[in-house]
């Protein structure tokens, strides 16, 4: 076979372990450069991953739900011209699993010749199922067996679980029928092409195939090692034709993990009875039975579960299930993906951050007059200043004056530290038909008000068009949520963790202000500053708000 082209996840900004929510290709598809391969969804954006090469898809290495990072392998392609001419060769006759040594020289000869591509080999109604392509791995231990002689299995049913030093993978059956022989046992080490089971297909006569009475394992392996796996490692193990799922600190096979997900069981809470502390399917079943019997919610302590069910105040009450249709006509519409994801983050931030909001009015009479004058002077050039651009520039100066606002809390084990940032990236909330998104103006301290106005306009347009990428929405130090185009007076914006503060502004309004002699009309901007009280106390937050109002009242102070 010609050299395969590997297509990986490109630069997706600061995001890591992003879930795959949709796949657009399968083995055998012919694709062109820039054709969409998959859709990824972070907590801030949804993005399609384009193909960097053209050809025929030979392997798809991820599944929906897998988490990937920059550099993770997605698919393997064969160039279109080479695809038609290439056929997978069989390994040399009389060789072992790696083709490096005659079978006669092996201490324990394998039951049959290995197949290079794995899969099934037919022998008079008996189908031999071998280890498929598992990438560059060899001598991988068998850590779990799911079948025994006499079992009836279907295509893609899991036969065994293998565990390398980087990943855990289930081996699916390439044939359906009755298992006649299981040719491996726990602890055996196998490679691509090694025989696992013999299956009698439904159409074959029910006659046993005579095999050698003495069968020794291919390699006399010891107990299977365990490994802690990072999300990016999935790229190292091709998933075709088997589905590769990654392990975590809890040791369990992919099929057991899928079973636990279906039942809603937290594997971290399940008592493991398998070898080397592995969680078995029976363990998950026993855990769920126990939860149903005792009434304890899986993953919660009995006290928390009691609080959830009885309103004891130890946990949140369960969400009420109401049949709204009995009260009148209803219409059900699904939430957009953006609202689902942002909702989860907002709920977390609202519950976990002890936030306090401080209000202040900024006199922007002179600033607004200056903005109108400059826009009139630049009418022919098309350049336009917005009030948001001035607020961003003033916020940068305030962050420089009060560096505690340009920080983030960071946990290192049990120790909590404060990270002071030396850069000034300002995010602003943009309203779109699908929900709220938060693009970021990078290095705002190095940009003029004109440049900031131009960049916010371009980012807002990308947001409305649904074309914001991860890099456009990452790295913020401070967020501004402006409702000036809508109205209102004051509100309490929610801090966007890991930031420690957020500024909300409403529509400016004329107010009578006492100048020492008389009341005069002044244009005022309502400002609402929400801060994380763990980092910023009330006095500091008030000083920040007052200072920001002074900057907007006399913008010359920004240059000081």
Report d(CA 241, CA 179) in Å as an integer. Answer: 20
Q: Is 16 helix (H, G, I), strand (E, B) or coil?
A: coil
Using CA atoms, how far residue 119 sits from 57, 97, 175, 393, in Å, is 18, 14, 8, 63
Contacts of 380 (CB under 8 A, 6+ apart): none
Chain centre to alpha carbon of residue 554: 45
Query: Please, which residues have CB within 8 angstroms of residue 478's CB and are 6 or more apart in sequence?
Result: 395, 399, 405, 406, 424, 426, 427, 499, 501, 502, 503
Instruction: Give the H or E element holding residue 84.
Output: helix 80-85
Measure the CA angle with vertex 107, ends 103 and 112; round to 5°: 40
In this structure, are residues 11 and 70 in contact, taking their beta carbons and an 8 Å threshold?
Answer: yes
* 456 vs 452: CA distance, rounded Å: 6
198 alpha-carbon distance from chain centroid? 39
Q: How far apart are the first and last CA of the chain?
A: 68
CA-based Rg of the chain, rounded to a whole angstrom? 31
DSSP character at residue 102: B
Catalytic positions are: 533
Distances (CA, A) of 549 to 358, 361, 401, 478, 527: 13, 7, 13, 17, 8
What is d(CA 68, CA 59) in angstroms, rounded to the nearest whole number? 16
Closest CA to 189 of 222, 157, 150, 156: 222
Most distant CA atoms of the chain, gap in Å: 111
CB-CB contact of 161 with 191 (8 Å): no
- List of residues 6+ apart from 420 with CB closer than 8 A: 403, 406, 407
């Amino acid at each position: 076979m010609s050299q395969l082209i590997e297509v990986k996840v490109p630069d997706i900004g600061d995001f890591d372990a992003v879930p795959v929510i949709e796949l657009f290709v399968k083995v055998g598809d012919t694709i062109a450069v820039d054709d969409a391969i998959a859709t990824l969804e972070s907590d801030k954006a949804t993005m399609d991953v384009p193909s960097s090469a053209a050809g025929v898809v030979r392997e798809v290495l991820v599944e929906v739900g897998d988490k990937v990072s920059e550099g993770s392998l997605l698919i393997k392609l064969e160039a279109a011209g080479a695809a038609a001419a290439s056929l997978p060769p069989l390994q040399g006759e009389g060789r072992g699993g790696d083709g490096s040594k005659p079978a006669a020289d092996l201490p324990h000869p394998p039951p049959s010749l290995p197949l290079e591509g794995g899969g099934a080999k037919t022998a008079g109604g008996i189908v031999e199922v071998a280890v498929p392509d598992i990438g560059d791995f060899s001598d991988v231990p068998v850590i779990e067996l799911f079948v025994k002689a006499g079992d009836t299995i279907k295509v893609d049913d899991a036969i065994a679980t293998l565990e390398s030093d980087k990943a855990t993978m289930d081996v699916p059956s390439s044939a359906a029928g009755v298992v006649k022989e299981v040719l491996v046992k726990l602890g055996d080490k196998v490679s691509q092409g090694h025989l696992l089971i013999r299956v009698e297909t439904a159409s074959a006569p029910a006659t046993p195939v005579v095999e050698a009475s003495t069968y020794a394992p291919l390699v006399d392996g010891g107990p299977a090692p365990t490994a802690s796996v990072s999300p990016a490692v999935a790229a190292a193990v091709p998933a075709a034709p088997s589905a590769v799922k990654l392990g975590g600190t809890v040791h369990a096979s992919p099929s057991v993990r899928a079973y636990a997900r279906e039942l809603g069981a937290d594997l971290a809470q399940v008592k493991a009875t398998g070898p080397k502390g592995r969680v078995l399917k029976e363990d998950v079943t026993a855990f769920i039975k126990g939860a149903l019997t005792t009434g304890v919610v899986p993953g919660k302590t009995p006290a928390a579960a009691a609080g959830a069910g009885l309103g004891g105040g130890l946990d949140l009450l369960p969400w009420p299930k109401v049949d709204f249709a009995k009260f009148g006509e209803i219409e059900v519409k699904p939430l957009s993906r953006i609202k689902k994801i942002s909702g989860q983050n907002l709920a977390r931030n609202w519950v976990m951050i002890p936030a306090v909001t401080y209000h202040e009015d900024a006199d922007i009479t002179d600033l607004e007059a200056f903005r109108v004058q400059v826009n009139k002077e630049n009418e022919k050039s098309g350049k336009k200043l917005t009030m948001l651009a001035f607020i961003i520039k003033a916020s940068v100066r305030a962050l420089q004056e009060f560096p505690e606002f340009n920080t983030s809390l960071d946990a290192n084990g049990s120790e909590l530290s404060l990270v002071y940032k030396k850069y000034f990236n300002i995010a602003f909330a943009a309203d779109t038909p699908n929900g709220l998104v938060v693009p970021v103006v990078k290095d705002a301290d190095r940009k003029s008000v004109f440049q900031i106005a131009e960049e916010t306009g371009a980012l807002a347009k990308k947001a409305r068009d649904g074309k914001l990428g991860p890099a456009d929405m990452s790295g913020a130090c401070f967020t501004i949520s402006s409702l000036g185009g809508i109205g209102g007076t004051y509100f309490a914006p929610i801090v966007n963790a890991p930031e420690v503060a957020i500024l909300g502004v409403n529509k400016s309004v004329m107010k009578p202000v006492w100048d020492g002699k008389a009341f005069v009309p002044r244009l005022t901007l309502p400002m609402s500053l929400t801060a994380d009280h763990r980092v910023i106390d009330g006095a500091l937050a008030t000083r920040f708000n007052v200072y920001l109002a002074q900057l907007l009242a006399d913008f010359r102070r920004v240059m000081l």
